[in-house]
Each structure stands twice: as C-alpha cells, then as structure tokens.
Amino acid sequence: MCFAFEYTGVYNNIVLKLLEKYNFKVALLYPGSIKAVVNFDRAKNDTIDAQKIAEFAYRFYDKLNFYSPLSNEMQELKELITERSALVKVKKSAHQ
C-alpha cells in the first residue's frame, strides 16, 4: 500500500511526518504530471481530484518516485531558506 498526493510544499509536511512515522510509502505527485496523463474535467472538486490522483498512482505505480525524508540538517536548511524568501518578499513590498 502507498499514499499518493499532490505536492503542495510545506503544507505536506505534517502528513509526511505522520506517514513516515508508520513507515508508509508516499508518492508526492506534481500536478502537471498528473494532468498530462489523466483527463481532468472542468468540473472539479476534492473528491474527483482524489479519484484522478488514485487512478494515476495505480496506473503508474511502477514509475512513482517515493518520498525519502531529508536529513534533519537539510530539512532545517530548507525551512530557513523558505523563511528567508518570505522575509525578502516582505522587505521588497515595504519599499515599493
């Protein structure tokens, strides 16, 4: 069994840590790769999107890249870079 969901950046972190704790396989999928293969209708909602993601993961299971956690140091560095980017953005907007 595996879990597959769209990559949403930092918003995935809580779920990833929980699934990692219980040693589940997780595939983070980029929306563009799903849309290129699975037909998304204009009528969208979370249930339909989840079904399309599940279909994609089932059809391409052998090609999925499974999540591998970063080391603590790399995770901390990544978080610091994200925080810095946000601070730079705030500073730029204050000077406009």
Token code pair at residue 36: 């290129």
Task: Map out the domains of the chain as residue ranges.
Answer: 2-68
Span 57-79, pLDDT tens digits = 999 999 998 988 888 899 899 89
Mean pLDDT of 32-45: 72
Looking at the whole model, is its pTM more than 0.75? no
Phi, psi dihedrals of residue 81, rounded to the nearest 5°: -65, -40
Token code pair at residue 89: 């953005």
